């Protein structure tokens, strides 16, 4: 395994299993309590930095929950995107079996992301209103990492990168994601390479525009699921993708419920229609043919 950071690896000294066993024998199994420099755990995890990133705008104790849960979700957005990018690269290389592991991890990360909503279930409108005005126009709608995840999953709307125009690095990364095939685009291309009848207008379309359900892609998945042989890796791929889509849809639905619970139908902090806008967005489906094909299975 390649070591990436000389500074990090010089502070966190690698040890072998034999060295760990010798140390435990020397200390009688007690943990090490003295270090020449910084505590290696903090050097590796940057925990002390993470715990300095919560800077609430009020003295209201509930704001800390709101802020930290939001930051946790941001980390999970990034982690899930990381896994999906790994899976996408493997799918492009026709390594379907290998792509299953990062997809399954992504599904579990999304499950943990969904659990984060529980940390805000205590929040009533009165609780939120105590600090909401201090947030100004700050809104989850403006999360660049969430947009990266949405775009990668195939939910594409070029207008949604406009808030980042004055942040060139973020804007360019989002533009690059929009201009590249989504994970679903690469799955559809994989089906074509495996001999399924994928029309040219689907394969050659403008990938910055959201994919629309096509009956031939549905037919391909119906045929894939009809094959119950244990070596049918495409069927396993379909199920792994379904879990990702299901868990991501659950996060979106829990977002709707959290907004409904804390602010009803009020205008959103970012200027949207709030609840109504989120409810309309739920109509856009991740990996659409995996769902529509089930009617014919």
Using one digit for the tens of pLDDT, what is the confidence trace for 197-227?
A: 999 999 999 999 999 999 999 999 999 999 9
For 166, the 3-state DSSP assignment is: coil
Measured CA to CA, the distance from residue 110 to residue 153 in angstroms comes to 13
Q: What pLDDT does 59 receive?
A: 95
Q: What pLDDT does 123 receive?
A: 93
Q: What pLDDT does 268 receive?
A: 61
Measured CA to CA, the distance from residue 70 to residue 142 in angstroms comes to 12
Q: What pLDDT does 281 receive?
A: 75
For 69, the enclosing helix (H) or strand (E) is helix 61-92
Q: What pLDDT does 190 receive?
A: 98
Q: What pLDDT does 259 receive?
A: 87
Reported as a single tens digit per residue, the pLDDT across 21-62 is 998 898 888 888 888 888 888 888 899 999 999 999 999 999
Q: What pLDDT does 141 receive?
A: 80
Owner of token pair 């998945």: 221
Cα 262 vs. chain centroid, distance in angstroms? 24
Q: Which residues are annotated as a binding site?
A: 132, 255
Which spans in 118-182 are helix H?
125-132, 144-153, 168-179
Q: Which residues are annotated as a binding site for heme?
A: 255
**Topology of domain 71-134+142-296, per CATH?**
Methane Monooxygenase Hydroxylase; Chain G, domain 1 (1.20.58)
Helices 183-193 and 233-263: crossing angle in degrees, nearest 10, is 160
Q: What pLDDT does 12 receive?
A: 76
Q: Which residues are annotated as a binding site for substrate?
A: 132
Q: Which residues of the chain have pLDDT under 70?
A: 1-11, 267-274, 277
């Amino acid at each position: 395994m390649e070591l990436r950071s000389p500074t990090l690896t010089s502070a966190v000294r690698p040890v072998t299993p034999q060295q760990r066993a010798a140390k435990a024998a020397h200390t009688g199994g007690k943990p090490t309590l003295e270090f020449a420099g910084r505590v290696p755990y903090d050097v590796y995890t940057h925990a002390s930095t993470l715990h300095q990133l919560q800077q609430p705008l009020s003295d209201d104790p509930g704001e800390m929950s709101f802020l930290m849960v939001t930051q946790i979700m941001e980390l999970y957005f990034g982690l899930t995107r990381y896994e999906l990018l790994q899976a996408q690269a493997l799918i492009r290389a026709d390594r379907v079996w290998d792509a299953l592991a990062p997809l399954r991890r992504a599904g579990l990360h999304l499950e943990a992301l969904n659990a984060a909503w529980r940390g805000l279930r205590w929040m009533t409108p009165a609780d939120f209103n105590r600090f909401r005005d201090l947030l100004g126009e700050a809104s989850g709608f403006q999360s660049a990492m969430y947009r990266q995840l949405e775009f990668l999953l195939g939910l594409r709307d070029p207008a949604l990168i406009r808030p980042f125009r004055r942040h060139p690095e973020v804007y360019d990364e989002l533009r690059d994601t929009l201009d590249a095939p989504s994970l679903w685009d690469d799955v559809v291309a994989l089906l074509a390479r495996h001999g399924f009848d994928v029309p040219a207008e689907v394969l050659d379309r403008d990938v910055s525009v959201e994919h629309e359900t096509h009956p031939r892609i549905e037919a391909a998945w119906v045929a894939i699921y009809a094959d119950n042989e244990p070596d049918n890796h495409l069927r396993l791929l379909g199920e792994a993708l379904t879990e990702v889509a299901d868990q991501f849809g659950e996060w979106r639905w829990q977002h709707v419920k959290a907004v409904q619970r804390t602010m009803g139908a009020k205008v959103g902090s970012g200027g949207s229609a709030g609840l109504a806008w989120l409810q309309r967005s739920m109509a856009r489906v991740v990996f659409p043919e995996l769902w529509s094909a089930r009617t014919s299975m």
